[in-house]
């Protein structure tokens, strides 16, 4: 089955592999406006632009059923896709859902997953329009494709930022990662001593951010209502550090982030310290915060200041200045990030 030369996938890493696999394919259909290379593809079928994105979640890789309720899993599987539609400044309309599961899952268990999927559909006004249900030899796989739209002039890409643009993020960062740390800790305690009840320390916010994230369709609507269009935007679920690099790479800029301005909730700060983790590292590289990172032209600063839930964390700089973090004590560090390693 295999060719003679054998390169291990780990040698390339995820982004290296994707680059290598997509290098040989060029989009040529006139209806393809944007193919691989952003949070979602953009198609033109003559009406409103179509935004398409897809994501696959695998048991044991992306989620652990030991602490993930099936209903939450279904909900989150939808949200992760909707978040990519939001990142193009669009709103989701439809999803398709393909699921494969082994016979250890009962019909009732599958129904719980779909209950989560349908709850997300209701909350976000999205229709489930198709899919596929399969047996798997082992484990659970969920593959979702989401479709959405935006007015033609409002689609926002990763490219488009320029030096001087304001760099902003919605919501707060690091909480989903810290929620995961709590769940993993309790799993390990439980595995070595199944009699012990899990101690979730009433950390409903942190755990909720991990198990039941939301997509920021509210932000897309808010932007629309205020007549604001970001110059560039990206979903930040792989971590702020790696995503600011994507914005810079696609836009041909550098960036400066001020550590003091990176939004962390008090409970995230405290929990990070409890786990002896650097809070800013959790915020920069933790991942799974389904928030939006975007840039705005300086002229939009007054508008941005009126919008709730948005944090100005820095600005875009000329490419040659690199991508830097200015720490609270005034030092400058290069931002290094690999994204979130599952």
> Which residues inside 277-296 make contact with a copy of itself, applying CB under 8 A?
none
Kindly tell me which of 153 and 330 has the beta carbon lying closer to a copy of itself: 153
User: What order of strands is seen across the sheet that includes strand 32-34?
Assistant: 32-34, 41-43, 50-58, 141-149, 91-101, 127-135
- What's the rounded Cα separation, in Å, for the pair 158 and 88? 8
φ/ψ of residue 98, rounded to 5: -110, 135
Kindly tell me which of 24 and 329 has the beta carbon lying closer to a copy of itself: 24
- Secondary structure letter of residue 299 according to DSSP: G
> SS3 for 333?
strand
Residue with tokens 């999205």: 126
- What's the rounded Cα separation, in Å, for the pair 179 and 322? 32
Out of 63, 78, 116, 139, the residue judged to bind a copy of itself by CB under 8 A: 139
Q: Which stretch binds a copy of itself (CB under 8 A): 61-69, 158-166, 176-184, 329-337?
A: 61-69
**Extended strands (E) in the chain:** 32-34, 41-43, 50-58, 91-101, 127-135, 141-149, 166-170, 232-235, 253-258, 292-296, 310-318, 323-326, 332-334
DSSP 53-80: EEEEEEBTTTB-TTT--HHHHHHHHHHH
Out of 83, 89, 143, 231, the residue judged to bind a copy of itself by CB under 8 A: 143
Kindly tell me which of 81 and 210 has the beta carbon lying closer to a copy of itself: 81
Is 119 one of the binding residues for a copy of itself (CB under 8 A)? no
Out of 85, 86, 88, 147, the residue judged to bind a copy of itself by CB under 8 A: 147
CB of 272 to a copy of itself, least distance (A): 27
CB of 75 to a copy of itself, least distance (A): 14
CB of 334 to a copy of itself, least distance (A): 27
Is 196 one of the binding residues for a copy of itself (CB under 8 A)? no
Is 125 one of the binding residues for a copy of itself (CB under 8 A)? yes
Kindly tell me which of 224 and 321 has the beta carbon lying closer to a copy of itself: 224
- What's the rounded Cα separation, in Å, for the pair 161 and 251? 5
Check: CB of residue 296 under 8 Å from CB of residue 170: no
Out of 65, 270, 277, 307, the residue judged to bind a copy of itself by CB under 8 A: 65
Q: Which stretch binds a copy of itself (CB under 8 A): 123-131, 165-173, 185-193, 229-237?
A: 123-131
Q: Which stretch binds a copy of itself (CB under 8 A): 131-139, 168-176, 213-221, 313-321?
A: 131-139
Is 134 one of the binding residues for a copy of itself (CB under 8 A)? yes
- What's the rounded Cα separation, in Å, for the pair 222 and 104? 44
- What's the rounded Cα separation, in Å, for the pair 93 and 125? 7
DSSP 278-291: -HHHHHHH------
Is 329 one of the binding residues for a copy of itself (CB under 8 A)? no
Is 70 one of the binding residues for a copy of itself (CB under 8 A)? yes
| Contact mark string toward a copy of itself, 35..54, x via CB under 8 A | xx---xx-xxxxxxxx-xxx
CB of 157 to a copy of itself, least distance (A): 14
Cα 165 to the chain's mean position, in Å? 22
Q: Which stretch binds a copy of itself (CB under 8 A): 88-96, 160-168, 170-178, 203-211?
A: 88-96
């Amino acid at each position: 089955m295999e060719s003679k030369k054998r390169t291990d996938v780990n040698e390339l890493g995820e982004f290296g592999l994707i680059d290598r696999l997509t290098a040989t394919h060029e989009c040529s259909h006139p209806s393809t406006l944007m193919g691989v290379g952003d949070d979602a593809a953009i198609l033109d079928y003559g009406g409103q632009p179509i935004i398409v994105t897809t994501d696959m979640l695998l048991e044991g890789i992306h989620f652990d059923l030991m602490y993930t309720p099936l209903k939450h899993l279904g909900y989150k599987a939808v949200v992760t896709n909707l978040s990519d539609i939001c990142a193009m400044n669009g709103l989701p309309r439809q999803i398709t859902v393909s699921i494969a599961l082994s016979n250890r899952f009962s019909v009732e268990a599958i129904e719980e997953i779909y209950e989560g999927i349908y709850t997300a559909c209701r909350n976000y006004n999205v229709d489930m329009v198709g899919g596929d249900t399969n047996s798997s030899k082992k484990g659970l796989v969920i593959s979702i494709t989401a479709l959405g739209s935006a007015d033609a002039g409002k689609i926002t890409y990763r490219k488009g930022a320029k030096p001087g643009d304001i760099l902003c993020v919605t919501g707060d960062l690091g909480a989903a990662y810290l929620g995961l740390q709590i769940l993993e800790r309790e799993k390990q305690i439980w595995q070595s001593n199944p009699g012990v009840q899990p101690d979730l320390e009433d950390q409903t916010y942190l755990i909720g951010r991990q198990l039941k994230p939301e997509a920021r369709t509210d932000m897309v609507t808010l932007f629309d209502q205020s007549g604001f269009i970001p110059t560039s935007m990206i979903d930040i679920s792989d971590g702020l550090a790696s995503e600011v690099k994507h914005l810079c790479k696609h836009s041909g800029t550098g960036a400066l982030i001020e550590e003091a301005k990176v939004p962390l909730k008090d409970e995230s700060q405290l929990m990070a310290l409890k786990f002896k983790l650097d809070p800013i590292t959790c915020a920069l590289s933790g991942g799974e915060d389904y928030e939006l990172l975007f840039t705005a032209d300086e002229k939009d600063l007054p508008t941005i200041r009126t919008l709730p839930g948005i944090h100005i964390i820095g600005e875009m700089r000329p490419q040659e200045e690199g991508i830097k973090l200015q720490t609270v004590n005034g030092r400058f560090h290069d931002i290094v990030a690999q994204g979130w390693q599952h």
